[in-house]
Structure 1
């Protein structure tokens, strides 16, 4: 069963959603049959990749929120994070253009390490206060996952994955996605937002039952024919 997840590194709900989704999946007997594919999405592609702002500056400039309101909103998200096992450090988080971070994610996908890279990027941004638009920071993250430094540098300074990233974003738009996280379950159902563990578990179970699990025969097999003949 394939799960596609559209996400952006600087979205706290994407990190919460990832943790809740993984906790739900861990409870299910078919967890080893699930393939997860991380897809790129940019919440604010207009940001200058050479600049980084703190969360409060960004909310004031982009959303026009006074600091008191921004503090209240961030406090609520922090509480949600604690419920998902995340200790956000919004006071250290640096807001910047995430296109290069998505390049690194696509490189990690080549080595079947996209889930690990997604986690590493979230930790770098929300916990460690690192600039996920900075070349050296991203190369260091690649190195931490055993990805060659030179290959990472070449990818980050070229256009090799630009098409793939833009295709992810276009696919999201074609699916009506306007916000993240956004989960598509085996091409059949969608879940949007950082939903509770129980909702993810139920959605995954329903999708598996309807599209993956063996057919359940509701009859006794009488009045039919097979390769050995007919039964009455």
Structure 2
């Protein structure tokens, strides 16, 4: 069984969804026969590469609210994350273009460490306030999970995976995704948003037993476009 997960490394609901999927897989009797593949989905591919900005004031402006009100919304999401064992500091976060991070994840997939790098990037961004937007930062993070630094730098310089990143985003939309995380099991069943672990387990069980066309369960909290529900 293959579980494909479209997500972004700066999507707070995506990290929550990852933890919930892991919880569901722990309870799934056929866990050893499940392959998890992380697919690329950029929340905002229009952001200039190489530039970053503070997340809190940007979201406050986008939604026409005060920074204090946005900070309170972030605290609520931090409480959700804490229930999954995650320690967020959203008010002090930074945002930027994530194309390079996704490109490095494709190299990691070829080297057999995609899952490890996905976790490392999410942890770096949300729990360590480290950059996941520039070549030097990404090369260092990749090295921590076993990627060769020289090869990683070459990949991020020649941009050989750039087209694949865009293609995967288009594939997600063709499957009905309007936001992330978006889980697809064997291209038969889909679950949008950071669904509870219990529901993800049900999706896994149904996909294992059935061979029906893609069926998508009602969406849960997640990120759409260049924004997240915080």
Scaled by the length of structure 2, what TM-score is found? Answer: 0.88
In the other structure, the counterpart of 1:5 is: 5
In the other structure, the counterpart of 1:227 is: none
CA drift of 1:154 comes to 0.5
CA drift of 1:166 comes to 1.0
Q: Distance in 1 between matches of 2:65 and 2:157?
A: 35
Give the match's secondary structure for 1:129.
Answer: coil
- Over the residues paired in the alignment, what is the CA RMSD in angstroms? 1.2
In the other structure, the counterpart of 1:145 is: 145
CA drift of 1:49 comes to 2.0
Give the match's secondary structure for 2:90.
Answer: coil
Alignment partner of 1:120 is 2:120: yes
Give the match's secondary structure for 1:61.
Answer: helix
In the other structure, the counterpart of 2:134 is: 134
Give the match's secondary structure for 1:43.
Answer: coil
CA contact (8 A) 2:56 2:93 kept: no
CA drift of 1:2 comes to 0.8
CA contact (8 A) 1:96 1:131 kept: no
In the alignment, structure 1 segments of 5+ residues that lack a partner are: 212-232
CA drift of 1:208 comes to 1.0
Structure 1: 4+ residue segments shifted above 4 A = none
Classify 1:156/1:62 alpha carbon distance in 2 versus 1 (closer, same or farther; 3 Å): farther
CA contact (8 A) 1:106 1:114 kept: yes
Aligned ranges 1:165-204 → 2 under 5 Å:
165-204=165-204
Q: Distance in 2 between matches of 1:111 and 1:50?
A: 26
In the alignment, structure 2 segments of 5+ residues that lack a partner are: 212-230
The structure number with the bigger radius of gyration is 1
Q: Distance in 2 between matches of 1:65 and 1:37?
A: 37
CA drift of 1:185 comes to 1.1
